[in-house]
Chain A
């Protein structure tokens, strides 16, 4: 990264052959209504949005649909398997998503039980294997475990997405050392997914060197979601620039910014 011209316009990232300028991926759930969803996503500057797959409400087929407020031609829909607790459910959900949307790039998550909904890695590996055989390009939600993330990459995941903290907890990056270790060893994009609570959490994730950050509740559950979406956009950009700039070394003593010995009162 030494020769990087650190202007946001030059700084794109790629996954599965697609290139993006925004390093913020946002979920589309938990908003007050679809109008607010659309407004917050526009304010976030995100180019990829995660979406869920659920049964159509047959009682009200003309109810407004997500596509009416978040245009699939404008945003890359990333179907995910939120709410799946078995490999079989996750694979079934993504096969339906592929048919509904017509694309192969998906997000896999297989969750363990409440209260933590921590990734069930054994089930995740099983689902990933089936999805890869079926031709999917899979971004994978993972525990913040360098060995698990390496394994996912070796199997063929197109991106690994360790959690910062439990889904929807807003606790921020709880394990920055391991996130950093995952980033240092990875040959595919690393995204921090889940746990971001406020802008500084997103900036920290980017300063650690991850390729992008994925969040939903931090925006949707803010008092003013559209304002928080703008904050997250700025934070992700700031964190990315700080990473590219390379932070100064930490030291445990003062190092004054102004010369101490050449002032009017100084002794030369």
Chain B
């Protein structure tokens, strides 16, 4: 488990922030990292890419990227296409 996820588990219950993921508003524990969010969503980090407030987040930075209230995230992957 990444460091950020362990950290998030010890936060007091109910301290959440609101973020937007793929156009949907979600609540997540205050202090959660991007790694925490991806784990919570059940996504395989090797198969997705993430844009945070229009900036690409390199995969290696997921654990160190702390989410902030109002963040706009796009999580994408490859699908069939021409």
Q: Which A positions have Cβ atoms within 8 angstroms of B?
A: 27-31, 34, 37, 50-56, 58, 61-62, 65-67, 77, 79-80, 82-83, 92, 95-97, 99-101, 167-168, 194, 216-217
Contact = CB atoms under 8 A, between A and B. Distances in A.
A99 B76 CA distance: 10
Given A56-B76, A62-B42, A65-B77, A97 B82 contact: no
A52 B21 contact: no
B10 interface: no
B55 to A, nearest CB: 9
Given A96-B76, A99-B56, A50 B43 contact: no
B22 interface: yes
Given A58-B41, A62-B42, A67-B47, A95 B78 contact: no
A28 B80 contact: yes
Contacts of A53: 49, 76-79, 81
B82 A217 contact: yes
A67 B22 CA distance: 21
Contact of A79 (B74, B78, B80): B78
9 nearest A-B pairs in the assembled complex, by CB-CB distance: A52-B81, A27-B82, A100-B49, A216-B82, A99-B49, A28-B80, A61-B42, A29-B80, A29-B81
B50 to A, nearest CB: 8
A66 B78 contact: yes
B34 to A, nearest CB: 13
A53 B50 CA distance: 12
Given A65-B77, A66-B77, A99-B58, 4 more contacts: A37-B80, A52-B79, A56-B41, A100-B77
Contacts of A56: 22, 41, 43, 48, 75-77
Nearest to A41: B80
A218 to B, nearest CB: 10
A191 to B, nearest CB: 13
A167 B48 CA distance: 27
B22 A82 contact: no
Contacts of A77: 78
B51 A96 contact: yes
A252 B11 CA distance: 87
A23 B58 CA distance: 33
Contacts of B6: none
Contacts of A37: 80
Contacts of B81: 27-29, 50-54, 80, 82-83, 216
B80 A52 contact: yes
17 contacts: A28-B81, A50-B82, A51-B78, A52-B79, A53-B81, A54-B76, A54-B79, A54-B81, A55-B23, A55-B75, A58-B75, A61-B42, A66-B78, A80-B82, A96-B74, A194-B82, A217-B82
B60 to A, nearest CB: 11
A66 B24 contact: no
Contacts of B48: 56, 100
Interface in B52-78: 54, 56-59, 74-78
Given A96-B51, A96-B56, A55 B80 contact: no
